[in-house]
Amino acid sequence: MRLKPITIGDFTTKNNVFLAPLAGYTNYPFRRLCHAYGAGLCYTEMVSAKGLKYGSENTKELLYTDKNEGVCAAQIFGSNPLILRAACEDESLAPFPIIDINMGCPVPKIYKNGEGSALLENPVLAENIVKECVKSGKIITVKFRIGIDDSRLITAEFARRMEGAGASLITIHGRTKEKVYAGEVNYQEIAAAKSAVKIPVIANGGVFSNADAEKLINETGADGVMVARAALFDPQIFCALTNTPAESRLEMFKKQLKWTRQVCDERFVVVFMRKMAAFYIKGMRGAAGYKDRLFKAQTAEEILSIAEEMWINE
């Protein structure tokens, strides 16, 4: 795909290929890995604005970053404009110049609380949230879906509202809330939103290869793409999309394991890296046997030993 920088407020990214916020996965070591492989901007896991307001340590742990990572955007969720603004002004978000408001999460618990994709049904509240968050002085962006279901597609109008409220960029997941992560991406709805606004539009959904990214750009006219699940199976998809040199899966895994051990306790390292290894070997010959051994491993050294066995002859 054609690479170009994206200007978001007064910040400019190195390219137009972004890593999506992925709950449970886009922690500091994983974001750092994707940055190294070419991602132009990476997002934190979705963080609760209420959690920040009430000083939740678990919430703050999701926001760890340092100078080795590169510029990162934080994504927050909630439904109370004042609490969301307070979150933007919280010291935990000080390292993040860009704050993204989640208006697309389809998870029932989030939706029933009036958060995430529920805001698609309350555009006035969504506007007020963005207006209030802009007062924090942060660059505010919004990620949302094309609607709740196929009978209620609101993409272009919602995009105009977000721009009017002060958002500096919007990311559109080209599926409805009801489709979650399955089904075809609706290119026409993203294209309609792109035609409706002047701020940059990032298209999200179904990017698993360079061909997928090119098609998404060509069909929608979007300014860039956001990669989600594909990055879990292979973070080096960013190498393919940005012409960044790749390395072996073993070297990739060792790098991620090292960075995870530097900032997380051993128990988290073991649980998290077992999950990541399982993603990386999906479809590989003998994957089921290796996966069984991985999930029995109790130390990082055991996991590394199995990884070396899996990929030493790659």
- For residue 77, the SS3 value is strand
| Cα-based distances in Å from 178 to 104, 111, 159, 161 | 11, 11, 19, 22
For residues 66 and 50, what is the distance between their CA atoms, to the nearest angstrom?
24
For residues 85 and 87, what is the distance between their CA atoms, to the nearest angstrom?
5
Rg for the chain, CA atoms, rounded: 19
Contact 18, 225 (CB under 8 A): yes
List the catalytic residues. Answer: 105
- Among residues 75, 199, 79, the alpha carbon closest in space to that of 129 is found at 79
- Among residues 191, 203, 119, the alpha carbon closest in space to that of 162 is found at 119
Residue 3's contacts (CB-CB under 8 Å, 6 or more residues apart) are 15, 16, 17, 242, 243
Contact 295, 274 (CB under 8 A): yes
For residues 161 and 154, what is the distance between their CA atoms, to the nearest angstrom?
11
What are 233's two structure tokens? Answer: 């199976």
The H or E element spanning position 229 is helix 229-233
